[in-house]
Every structure is written in structure tokens, then in C-alpha cells.
Amino acid sequence: MKYIKQFTIDQTPSIAKNKHKATTLQKRERSHKWTLVLLAMCTVLACVLYVFVGVRFDHPQLFWYALEIRVPKLIAMLVVALCIGKASMIFQSVIQNTIVTPCLLGMNSLYTLLHTAIVFFFGSASRIASNVNLSFAIDLLVMGVSATFIYGYLFKKTKYNILYVLLIGTVLSSLFGSMQSTMIRVMDPNEYDTLLVSLVASFSNVNTEIILFSIVVVIAISYILRKDFALLDVITLGKEQAINLGVDYDRTIRRLLFGVVLLIAVATALVGPISFLGLIVANIARQMFQTYQHRYLIMGSVLVGMIALIGGQVFVEHIMVYAVPLSVFVTVIGGLYFLYLLLRQKRSI
């Protein structure tokens, strides 16, 4: 009886400590859920503002005409935010670095090179360049295969050393840019004017003809890779720990990278290349949630992206009156935020 009492006394602090941990986890879960609800409400508010601000309610024809223009653009921005937010968060978790996005590794340069090469070799009037759906399919195929092969091989060859990957990504960006510049120099000026529209990111002239195709692709990617997305919490522990827990690490990484490339390709095909948006939304989501659970991080990143794009477009259209495109604000703010993250990491070291 004496030993039983002593055992009970010794276990009391441990039980209380476990209960305290469980209570803390429950509070964090509730906090994360309420944060998602708040972000979702802000997203809905931004959508309502974008659709109805400045609309003539007293004139039915103008009202429906405005909706016909704004609703497809709104859907396109939602798809772009979903793709960039999800791809950036997944990519950062795979690389295990929070200041890297696929755009910093030459994805945008690859897209511009691909479109320049199509116009250069086939012409802007060719079917492969003028057919929107065919051009979109080629973007997905070429960017998906080439980028997955290049970066998948680089990550494996460098043993996932982020410094080497960044260095090689910078070199590839310069290589792709030099090849594109060479083609542009000998290209017909009229062809270049036609090409320039697709090379500059614009949320005012969204390619609405491929919205349905884009949504189908995004849903297919999310469904096919749903099991790999569920392993992100384990992958962030490191390669050795993930393998010890039964994860086929190399295969999972290849599939995730392929999904990231396709998501970026969808977003780029809709609005053009846009840098730093993924860096902004992914890091803001990490600061807001401060958790390892990717179900909150990915959703938070996507919702922050939607608020940023839609709210920013409202600002551009109704306050700036189209004087400065949204992509310029994203690039400037993203560049400054990138420098801030670098300096903050340097101070922490």
C-alpha cells in the first residue's frame, strides 16, 4: 500500500503536466481555426468589394455587363492565389527554407523563354501560339517535365544543399534570360509587340479563356497528390527521420516538385510571370500560425494570397485608376520583404 501511494504521488506532477500540454494544444488549435475563419471573412469581403464597388445598380444592363467582366477576373485571381500560395508553401517545406520560392529558381525565366521560342520559331499567328488552350497545355507539359527533371536532379545531386540550389537557379535564370534576349534581338518588332503582352504579369487583362481548364488541372493535381501533401508534416523533420517513419522520400519529393511546377505553370499562364508573391504570402502565413501543421499553413497562405491579390486589384482599379499595375507593387514590396527576411535570419544567426 505504501508503494502504491508513493507511485501515485510521483505520477501526479506528470499527469498535471500532460493535461497542461493538452489544454495548450487545444487552445492553439482553436486559435488557428479562428484565424482561418477571420482570413476567410476578409477574403469574402475583398471579393464583394471587387465585384460591386463602382457598379451601376440603377442600370441593369451596365450592372450585368460589369459582372460579366469582373466575375471571370475574380475567379482567375482566386485560382492564381490558390496555385501560388499552395506551391510556395509546399516548396519551402520540401527545401526546408522559408526565403526560397520556385520563382527565385528560374521558373519565370523558363516561362518567358518558352513563349519567346514559340513565337520566334512558329510565329505569333501560328496555331500553337494563337490557340489559348493549346498554348496552355504546352506550358504545362514543357515546364512540368523540364523543371521537374532539372530541379529534381539538382536537389538530389547537391544533397538538398540550399546554397548550391540557389546558385544554380541563378545561373539558369541568367541562361534562360540570355537565350530569350538573343531571340528578341533578331525577332520581328511586330512579333515582339504581340509577345510582350504575355510576358508581363497583368491582373487587368487576365486570360479568362483557360479558367475552366485551369480549375480542372488544379483539382486533378490536388486529388492525385493528396497523399503526398499529407506527408509534408513528416518531410519537414528531415530526410533521415522521414525515411525512418516509412516515407518513400525520393519518390515523394519528385511528385511534390512536379505538383509545384504545374501549379506555378497554371498561375503563370493565367496572368503572366509574377515574382515574390509566393514569398510574401507563405511567410506571412508562417508568422500568423507559427505551427508545423501544413493544413493550417497551406490554407493560410492561400487565403492571404487571395486577400492580397483581390484587395490590391481593388486599390489599383479604383484608387490608382490603372496608373500602376498590381505586379509592380508585388515586385517592389516582395523585394523589400525578401531583404528583410535575409537580414532577420542573419541577425538570428
Question: What is the domain partition of the chain in residue ranges?
Answer: 68-348
Q: Mind listing the pLDDT tens digit for each residue in 89-137?
A: 988 888 787 877 777 667 778 878 888 888 888 887 777 777 777 777 7
Nearest 10 degrees: CA dihedral of 106, 337, 258, 326? -80
SS (H, E, C) the chain: CHHHHHHHHHHHHHHHHHHHHHHHHHHHHHHHHHHHHHHHHHHHHHHHHHHHCCCCCCCHHHHHHHHHHHHHHHHHHHHHHHHHHHHHHHHHHHHCCCCCCHHHHCHHHHHHHHHHHHHHHHCCCCHHHHCHHHHHHHHHHHHHHHHHHHHHHHHHHCCCCHHHHHHHHHHHHHHHHHHHHHHHHCCCHHHHHHHHHHHCCCCCCCCHHHHHHHHHHHHHHHHHCHHHHCCHHHHCCCHHHHHHCCCCHHHHHHHHHHHHHHHHHHHHHHHCCCCCHHHHHHHHHHHHHCCCCHHHHHHHHHHHHHHHHHHHHHHHHHCCCCCCCHHHHHHHHHHHHHHHHHHHHHHHC
Q: Are the C-beta atoms of residues 239 and 249 closer than 8 Å to each other?
A: yes
d(CA 88, CA 275): 11
* Predicted pLDDT at 273: 77
Query: In angstroms, rounded to a whole number, what is the distance separating the alpha carbons of residues 319 and 327?
Result: 16
The C-alpha cell at 256 is 511534390
**What is the model's pLDDT at position 22?**
64
Low-confidence residues of the chain, pLDDT below 70? Answer: 1-22, 104-105, 148, 151-152, 155, 159-163, 165-166, 197-198, 200-207, 345-349
Give, in degrees to the nearest 5, the angle at Cα 214 between 136 and 181. Answer: 35
Q: How far apart are CA 188 and CA 11, in angstroms?
A: 81
Within 8 A by CB and 6+ apart from 222, the residues are 229
pTM above 0.85, yes or no: no
- Rounded to 10°, the helix 132-157/162-185 angle is 140
CA-wise closest residue to 91 among 40, 19, 152, 47: 152
CA angle 165, 244, 249 (to 5 degrees): 35
Hey, what amino acid is at 313?
Q
Amino acid at 104: L
pLDDT of res. 39? 93
Decide: 220 and 228 in contact? Cβ < 8 Å: no
How far does the chain reach from its first CA to its final CA, in angstroms? 54
Position 305 scores a pLDDT of 92
- Do the beta carbons of residue 307 and residue 41 sit within 8 Å? no
User: Which CATH superfamily is 68-348 part of?
Assistant: ABC transporter involved in vitamin B12 uptake, BtuC (1.10.3470.10)
